[in-house]
Amino acid sequence: MIVSDAWQERMLDLFRGDLPLISEMIRATESPIIGYPIYDISTQPVWQKGHVVLVGDAIHAVSPGAGQGASLAVEDALVLAKCLRDREDYALAFATYERLRRARVEHMVKYGRSLGQAKIMTNPIQVWFRDLLMPFFLKHFANPAALDWVYSYKVDWDTPVEGTPDPIEREIAVN
């Protein structure tokens, strides 16, 4: 196990060439510094079997960098409840739930992974340019609407699940 002091030393070392403010914050941190391993789970081929269907982290764990794992789990629960309410049997309900959720959660897992894999600049010249240009780019190009798909998603509880089940849902439901 790596103790807190060792993490602090390691982080001070990693940020040595960066803005002095970062080192000041690391030195000023009084609570324990802990390293967490980060995993994610995506693109699972089977979401349901018989009377069992998976929701939340059990089927699509998102990297904590996205801050969306709990939100996705709650969304799953609502959509699943809606499908159970509106489909004629549980097998079709599970299949419709999977169809409605799969693309969004897999996209979110990819998004979380991309945040964790962003390249860190260590070259002092690159860092200098980044700090010079960042305020300009944030002011002119940061666009909150670009993240609407993450933060503004709503489950419309009142509108029934649409249409008759499509052939893919019927196939999932019988397998």
Binding interface with ligand FAD (CB under 6 A): 36, 56-58, 64, 67-71, 73
Q: How far is the CB of 27 from ligand FAD (least distance, A)?
A: 23
Q: Which residues, at least 6 apart from 98, have a Cβ–Cβ distance to it below 8 Å?
A: 47, 48, 53, 169, 172
Q: How far is the CB of 23 from ligand FAD (least distance, A)?
A: 24
Residue 41 vs 134, nearer CB to ligand FAD: 41
Residue 76 vs 169, nearer CB to ligand FAD: 76
Q: What ranges in the chain are assigned the alpha helix state H?
A: 4-14, 20-28, 57-60, 69-86, 90-116, 124-141, 148-151, 167-174
d(CA 1, CA 32): 13
Residue 127 vs 150, nearer CB to ligand FAD: 150
Q: How far is the CB of 56 from ligand FAD (least distance, A)?
A: 2
Q: 44 and 91 in contact (C-beta within 8 Å)?
A: no
Residue 75 vs 169, nearer CB to ligand FAD: 75
Closest CA to 70 of 108, 113, 116: 108
Q: How far is the CB of 74 from ligand FAD (least distance, A)?
A: 8
